[in-house]
Amino acid sequence: MTFKLNLSGTTSQVVIGEVQVDASTNEGHGLTGVVSSHPVESGQPITDHYSVDPDELTIEAVITKSPLKTGYPGQSAISSVGSLIDGKGGDPVLDAWAAIENYFKNSELITITTSLKTYTNMALVSFSVTRSADTGDALSFSLNARELRIVETATATALEDIQAKNARKAKSKTTQDKKNKGRKQKKKASKEQKKSVLAQMADGVGGLFK
């Protein structure tokens, strides 16, 4: 389900990477999950049959040539991004466009701050700009972003520990197999020895009656 919050006419709290927007007209915060379609036996871990999808976010906002002073972190980000891109402070609208375009081209994961929460490791999925006589020189846009989950890989030390543990298990199994084989051979020899003694005794008894 997607919840939308109308922020029209309020001071924007939205920061996209390093870009501070002037006004956010809509925010769409999406939470979805996947549930197994197969029956679940009682007592089984629910996590094996239910997973939560990555966060999704949709923002409709406007950036103007006269940025509002919001007081939120990243307020001066537009000018700083412009300095990085063309070596000087420039047009806030063009600087913002260039910055977001670079996020796409560089496949950069960014942090997006909204009125509801701060999202990290967000990848931009779409960025649509609308320009008309009503918006003038302002940058009126719709942006969609999705969380990219990052999983830590096992370190070399951890892999070595796993390999050493597996080697110990294999060695222990080999040793146990040898012991079991020795017991079986000893038991078989004992049975054969008893049969031999009984056979000798039978021969001796048979000789007495000849």
Are 172 and 114 found together in one domain?
A: no
Which one of 99, 123, 147 terminates a domain? 147
Domain boundary among 98, 116, 147: 147
The pLDDT tens digits of the residues spanning 102-111 come to 998 999 999 9
pLDDT in the model for residue 202: 63
- Domain annotation covers residue 207: yes
pTM of the model: 0.55
Let me know whether 72 and 131 are in one domain: yes
28 contacts 6 by C-beta, under 8 angstroms? no
- Whether residue 152 lies inside any domain: the answer is no
Per-residue confidence (pLDDT) for residue 201, from 0 to 100: 64
Residues 43 and 123 in one domain: yes
CA–CA–CA angle 26, 113, 123 (5° rounding): 90
Tokens describing residue 43: 């007592």
Q: What is the pLDDT of residues 155-203, one digit of tens each?
A: 667 677 777 888 877 777 777 777 777 777 777 767 777 667 566 666 6
Residues of the chain where predicted confidence (pLDDT) is lower than 50: 1-10, 69-88
Domain holding 174, by residue range, is 158-210
